[in-house]
Amino acid sequence: MTDSQDHAEIAKFEAMAAEWWDPAGKFKPLHMMNPVRLGYVTDQIAAEFGRDLKSPRPFEGLRLLDIGCGGGLLSEPMARLGADVVGADAAPRNIKVASLHAAEVGLDIDYRNDTAEALLAQGESFDAVLAMEIVEHVADPAGFVQSCHDLLRPGGVLVMSTLNRNLRSYAAAIIGAEWVMRWLPKGTHEWSRFITPDELAQMMTQAGLHVADRRGMVFNPISWGWSLSERDLSVNYAMTGIRRAQEG
C-alpha cells in the first residue's frame, strides 16, 4: 500500500496549527474561501444523493470523511448539516485543535490522527470523501487519489480542491499570497507540486472514478471575495469524482 505522507509538509502545518480558527491569522485565505468551497461541496453531495439543502439536516444518514481536515473548517459545517463526520489529519496538533474547537461548540466529530491509507487498512468506508487543499502536499498524489476512491462506497462522492500549475497560479498563490499579501508563510506552497485539472482528472479516472464536475474558485480583488467559475480554473479549482455503483 502506498504511503502518501510527506513529513516535511506535515511539519509546516503543525507549526501553524494554533491559528486554524483565527480568521485574521495564517489561515486567512481558507477562511475567506470557505463559504465558496462549502457551497460547492454541499451542492455536489446533495445532487448525487438527492438531498434538499433547504431541510434542517440534509445529510442525515451519510457518513463523510474530511481527509486533511486541519482545524475542522469543513468538518464542523458538514456535521451541522447532519453528516456523520470523521475528520482525519496526519498532523497530531491539528487534531488536538480541531477536537478542542468541536467540543467548545458542542459538535460530535470523530477526529483521528490518521492518513487515508491507515483508514483504508482499518476497513473504513464512506458515502463522501472531502480532500480539500491536500493533494498538492502528499508524496504520491495518484496513490492518494486511489486511496480516496477505495474509501468510498459504490456510488460515493469524492470532492477535491487544489491549485493549478501555470504562471498565473505562481503569481497568485506564491508571489501574491505569500510574498506580497503575506497571507501565508513563505514556503507554504511549492509551485512544482501544483496539479493541473487534466492531471487530476486523469488520476481520478485511473483510480476508477467518473469525473462529474470541475469548477474554478476565483478571487476578485475588487469585491475582495471568492466565487465559482465554470471557465476559469487557472489558479484554485475543485473537482468531483463519483465511484461507480457497478465496477468491473
The CA distance from 154 to 149, in Å, is 9
Q: Is the C-alpha dihedral spanning 39, 160, 212, 163 positive or negative? A: positive
Please count the other Cβ atoms lying within 10 Å of the Cβ belonging to residue 126.
Answer: 24
Q: Is 68 annotated as a binding residue?
A: yes
Q: Is 132 annotated as a binding residue?
A: yes
**Residue 120, C-beta contacts closer than 8 angstroms, at least 6 positions apart:** 1, 147, 150, 151
Q: DSSP of 36-56, one letter per residue?
A: HHHHHHHHHHHHHHT--TTSS
Q: Which residue type occupies 66? A: D
**Residue 205, C-beta contacts closer than 8 angstroms, at least 6 positions apart:** 211
Q: Is 37 annotated as a binding residue?
A: yes
Q: Is 3 annotated as a binding residue?
A: no
Task: Give the bridge partners for 126, in sequence order.
Answer: 152
**What is the side-by-side strand order in the sheet with 63-67?**
110-112, 84-88, 63-67, 126-132, 152-163, 236-243, 209-220, 225-229
Residues making up the annotated binding site for S-adenosyl-L-methionine are 37, 68, 89, 132
Residues making up the annotated binding site are 37, 68, 89, 132
